[in-house]
Structure 1
């Protein structure tokens, strides 16, 4: 049974020992899933618990507050996807000033040894931890020898010539390359949330929308999109969506607005997920509402064409983009 823990201190979670992986896991992409799968395999082989350690906010968000990191998923989405990978426990630590100031050696002793009883620790090749990013794989291996655990580097994945990394996926999404980004993620890019009340302007203009506030989350994309909306009916519903600040109506807060085709119902309070299929254009400020509606008419027509020509939830083409491992360091 999957367990979620947010407290870094407390009783040992795995008295019989554990196999642990550590990472930000933003988006839980194909490379993350492969790492989580390896941890599951090793835990089964050793009859131990499989544990993932992650952070919210992710460290890069904490240290670069003036330039917010575009997130590939919410904390809720990350938790759910890690659970789906068969991990027993997720220790989701709050990354704050105290954790940022914790020496690397203390992190190993308090978290990996006392809290998790780690026997194997898996990290990426560029993994750094502890105050001043002093901790690395060499320190992990040195402390592992002293405390009875092995530290291993998991190989970097690529699909064809594309590295499977969160930063690469953010760049692909920003460029509107949703199909390629979906291959690296292992699933289409989505933004989820609860439908909230808006200004009702869309309804007055003939385009009622389901609105999702992003809150503090920064999106890697903005503009007008052809999308599919999950969580309303048994199958995803086609829609056209706007993601941005709505300059024509003097918007300030980023908002995701989706107009569902051939749907008339009350979605307030319901959680939905918006799957992005194609970018139609950038956000634009119009001189009049009439000009904006004319453009929305064209956007809706284009979105219908795009969605009719695409297959919903198409799996990544693994044959066309074989997985390649760039580095060594995995257990035999």
Structure 2
């Protein structure tokens, strides 16, 4: 929603502000601090869509760790009843830090607490920081609570660190920093049907906005309509099937029969199996997929019996 179209709200008294990409453990600490100031009815999380860097410096905009839909779901899961996503566009970008806070106080006249992380910046050219926020709080009569970053193994928990872990296929570390399994979500679309021809039908995913791990073959768990399946994922160009194919992400669900087209799948608990490669024949590819499936079962079934 446009910041300039917001109407007065006399219910909200406490606001946490941030991008909150990934909603990792550090972000969750901010949410806990917010809720400690009031209750679910007078607390609000204010975030931005798209990520500010998409507008400010598109070439530096990071891939998202969670989609907007995931963020909404997780915020409610963490006890936040009121969520507001401000449309970050050129007009909002040019708003000064003082004008933003003055406008915020006008929209939420009972505002008494703002909660942010210590690296929070806002306003035109990122002129506002936590010190400015505290000074403006004296003028506008609200308190500023600054939540220091949490650390893990001596380093701060941050979205950039999580992205690095995923790119390095260190899914265990990524999950530790997030506080839950890293998930990729997408909607099943039509593919070439090549997997079905060799006995391993795959669900091709579209509308995936989250950061993907490097190309390769992975074992994983797949959630579909609240049921959990094992899966083997290929993220790559399928060189055995098609020369210079486009980059795709596809998953074969073990022990599943049915039509998944148009359905949403959530992939998590990734296990790197191997790099993608071109095989001499479809028979050789099929033989390798059988090995991938066996290794996936050997890894997951002792931990998650089905």
Report how far residue 208 of structure 1 moved.
0.5
Report how far residue 48 of structure 1 moved.
6.6
Q: In structure 2, how many angstroms separate the alpha carbons of the residues matched to 1:137 and 1:98?
A: 23
Structure 2 vs 1, CA of residues 116 and 88 (structure 1 numbering), >3 Å: closer, same or farther? Answer: farther
Listed one character per residue, the Cα deviations across residues 170-202 of structure 1 (whole Å, up to 9, x for unaligned) are: 111122221221121111111112211111111
RMSD of aligned alpha carbons? 2.3
Higher relative contact order (CA 8 A, sep 6+): 1
Q: In structure 1, how many angstroms separate the alpha carbons of the residues matched to 2:2 and 2:201?
A: 42
Structure 2 vs 1, CA of residues 106 and 154 (structure 1 numbering), >3 Å: closer, same or farther? Answer: same
- 2:6 match: 10
- 1:318 match: none
Contact 2:13–2:42 (8 Å) recurs in 1: yes
Report how far residue 164 of structure 1 moved.
1.8
**TM-score of the two chains, using structure 1 as the length reference:** 0.83
Q: Structure 1 stretch 90-99 or stretch 130-139: which is displaced more?
A: 90-99
Report how far residue 158 of structure 1 moved.
1.7
Secondary structure of 1:241's counterpart equals strand
**TM-score of the two chains, using structure 2 as the length reference:** 0.89
Report how far residue 36 of structure 1 moved.
0.7
Unaligned 5+ runs, structure 1: 1-5, 313-332
- 1:22 match: 17
Structure 2 vs 1, CA of residues 245 and 293 (structure 1 numbering), >3 Å: closer, same or farther? Answer: same
Unaligned 5+ runs, structure 2: none
Report how far residue 125 of structure 1 moved.
1.0
Report how far residue 276 of structure 1 moved.
3.1
**Alignment partner of 1:251 is 2:255:** no
Pairing partner for 1:177 from 161, 166, 170: 170
- 1:293 match: 286
Report how far residue 306 of structure 1 moved.
1.9
Q: In structure 2, how many angstroms separate the alpha carbons of the residues matched to 1:287 and 1:94?
A: 51
**Alignment partner of 1:238 is 2:234:** no
Q: In structure 1, how many angstroms separate the alpha carbons of the residues matched to 2:264 and 2:157?
A: 29
State how many pairs are aligned: 301
Report how far residue 216 of structure 1 moved.
5.6
Report how far residue 72 of structure 1 moved.
1.1
